[in-house]
Chains A and B, each alone.
Chain A
Amino acid sequence: MTRALVVDDEPPIVRVVAANLRVRGFEVLTASTGEAALTAVETHQPDCIVLDLGLPGIDGLEVLRRLRTWTQVPVVVLTAIDNERDKVTALDLGADDYVTKPFGVAELMARIRVALRHARSASADRPRVIRAGEVAIDLDAKLVTRDGAPVRLTPIEYRLVETLATNAGRLCTHRFLLERVWGPGYGGESQYLRVYMANLRKKLDDPAAPQLLLTEPGMGYRFVVPEPG
């Protein structure tokens, strides 16, 4: 059974999220402070964490920072609508995704699913070919095709789409992409990204109405694999 830890200082939120996870077959642990959350992670080793950033005492960001020193357990953070900076910080610290309060439960559940799937695929053998609609990315051959026809990509464009696709469904922050593709020290140059993403969209997606490469304004980009069926 998948074990989830829900951390929030608002009992009603904890109750609702826990009920939704239980009904979907999760075993649920709860914590209302950062300290309790850290202890719970150590003693119960959950498979995923829903973490509110606005906790009394040790706040969510600090909890995340401490967790990431020893575990890669998937974390979906809950943030306030007006706290853009914390969101980015959380993602840069290694959160897998975020949901803004007030949130619909379906959205939160979907984010948790993606985070879990990514964590599993990272530990298991990764598929060597990623398919998203009409686009296929062969990671061994470093070949991208659209409708079966090869697409010519520059090395940087390829590394960018590879990074996004191997993190499919997750939000990749500007900093994350820049450091993966261009290397450390490029963390602040998000205008590079805009240019390359525009080119990638022209080659792989519909620039007017992107389906594959979504922009999260001010945060980063998300490679979306359409649900089959």
Chain B
Amino acid sequence: MDVPRRLAVGGPRGALGYLVAVAGTAVITAPLLAFRGDVSKTTVVLAYLLVVTAAAAAGGLGPGITAAGLGFLAFDLLFLQPYHHIIVDDPQDYLSLAVYLLVAVVVSLLVATSERRRAQAERRERETRMLFDLSTSLVAHGSLEDTLQGVVGTVRSLFDLAGCAIALPSEGGPRLAAVDGQVPDGPDGADLEPGRAMTFPMRSGEHVVGALVVVAGGPGTSGFGEAERRVLATFANQAALAVERAQQEEERNRALALQETDRLRTALLNSVSHDLRTPLASIKASASSLLDREVRWSDAEREEFLTTINSEVDRLTRLVHNLLDMSRIEAGALDPRLVECSLAEVVGPVARRARTASRQRIDVDVPEELPPVLVDPVRLDQVLTNLLDNARSYAAGSPVQVAAGQAGGTLELRVVDHGPGIPAPERERVFDQFYRLKGGGRRPEGTGMGLAICRGIVQAHGGDLRVETTPGGGASFVLTLPMAPGELSSVVDQEIARP
């Protein structure tokens, strides 16, 4: 392989050796030549041996021998009588030349060998350090995705590559699971020079987990040397273990998630069956009491049984309605009948109804001038009724505020209470099905579906519902609704027209 290697002694070092050989000889020759009469032959020979040693150290055997040859010629032609001729007068000079040549070659050999050993040791050390860096990148990451991305990133930066990727088997053949830099779709892209892209199998034990695809740097740089291939192949196998570990981890997490879903489903079923059964039990007990011929009930008692039956049937009806709404929302079949209407129109009656039902103080601040929204008024009424009910039952007698305003392209409606508020960790969970706030020792009355349904309805309108803390304490439910499309475009027009 005559391709220079990043891990081996590179091309620039060889060139440097020859440069040292030629320039060194020239630099040494000039002053010696100036004082040719005064310097002894020994000084000249030693000076040229210095050049040979330097050239061999810089570039290895080739430059060493080159320096030796150049020195030999310069010594023979310029410093031995007769000048400018190969032949020499003094037979003793032949001996000097021969000894010089021998010593120069031996020095070149020795220096070059030790230099090669040093380079080798250095290369080994770099290989080891590289593998170490690579292995470290395998340990640090958690998920499969992160592990793979970490591997390709590290490989690419350590080898200074144009691209690196990991291909994993999937149902539709191998797929690039993680890519860093530029990697052609086919691992052996046709547009690449041969040797610039390589694929290493990632083996774990007997089976191949995936493949490591590497693409060498830009057109100017070289392909892969033997040492690099060795490191990459070793590393690919190490990475295979990490990938397998991460895959197992993911498998385990998936199983856990399924378990959690299962647990939730059971909790949901329990909750529904409890909620359905409880009113049924009251109704059955009351009705069977009334039918009992052994007992003579007073009018007051009969009245109480009938009242219980009546209110428990209402409770059951509410629950069934909620369940139906919930399943419609989940099936995406809510199908709101959208009409352009103003928020004030909808809020007014709901607030009036809530006031008469509970003598609750409700302050409404919904300006008539607000742009209209595109909503199903019946559904929005349902949402507001529910939110006001909630606010009232948690407000502990303090007034409840309903306020609306415009925020960009959306309208914001806030239902604000000054009750105990909702602790931060539960703020999202209150929108979960069958979630009820704990605490207060008070038995929650609702079905646990109200807020989930509210959010579902609002989202079906393209809006959103969230809860914030009221300044000074309490909960504020914030309902955002998109403006009616005509209005929205006029807002946008205004904004565009504004300089």
Interface size (A, Cβ < 8 Å)? 23
Smallest Cβ-Cβ distance to A22: which chain B residue: B301
With a cutoff of 8 Å between Cβ atoms, the chain B residues found around residue A16 in the complex are: 282, 285-286, 289, 305, 308
Q: Name the contact of B288 in the complex, choosing from A54, A82, A105 (C-beta under 8 A).
A: A105
With a cutoff of 8 Å between Cβ atoms, the chain A residues found around residue B305 in the complex are: 16, 19
Interface 9-mer from A5-13, A152-160, A182-190: A5-13
State whether the Cβ of A85 lies closer than 8 Å to any Cβ in chain B: no
State whether the Cβ of B85 lies closer than 8 Å to any Cβ in chain A: no
With a cutoff of 8 Å between Cβ atoms, the chain A residues found around residue B289 in the complex are: 16, 19-20, 105
Minimum CB–CB distance for A111 against chain B, Å: 14
State whether the Cβ of B443 lies closer than 8 Å to any Cβ in chain A: yes
Minimum CB–CB distance for A16 against chain B, Å: 4
* Bound CA span A16–B405, Å: 50
With a cutoff of 8 Å between Cβ atoms, the chain A residues found around residue B308 in the complex are: 12, 15-16
With a cutoff of 8 Å between Cβ atoms, the chain B residues found around residue A13 in the complex are: 278, 281-282, 285
Q: Please provide the chain B residues from 267 to 289 with a CB less than 8 Å away from any CB of chain A in the complex.
A: 273-274, 277-278, 280-286, 288-289
Inter-chain contact B288/A104, CB cutoff 8 Å: yes
* Bound CA span A83–B294, Å: 31
State whether the Cβ of B304 lies closer than 8 Å to any Cβ in chain A: yes
Minimum CB–CB distance for A98 against chain B, Å: 14
State whether the Cβ of A141 lies closer than 8 Å to any Cβ in chain B: no
With a cutoff of 8 Å between Cβ atoms, the chain A residues found around residue B278 in the complex are: 10, 13, 101
Partner-B contacts on A (CB < 8 A): 9-10, 12-13, 15-17, 19-20, 23-24, 54, 56, 80-82, 101-106, 108
25 A/B residue pairs, CB under 8 Å, sorted by A:
A12-B286, A12-B311, A13-B278, A13-B282, A15-B308, A16-B286, A16-B289, A19-B289, A19-B301, A19-B304, A20-B289, A23-B301, A80-B273, A80-B274, A101-B277, A102-B280, A102-B283, A103-B285, A103-B288, A104-B284, A104-B285, A104-B288, A105-B285, A106-B294, A108-B285
The 4 closest A-B pairs by CB, nearest first: A102-B284, A12-B282, A104-B288, A101-B281
Partner-A contacts on B (CB < 8 A): 273-274, 277-278, 280-286, 288-289, 292, 294-297, 301, 304-305, 308, 311-312, 443
List 7 additional A-B contacts (Cβ < 8 Å) besides A16-B286, A20-B295, A105-B285: A13-B278, A16-B289, A19-B297, A19-B301, A101-B278, A103-B288, A106-B292
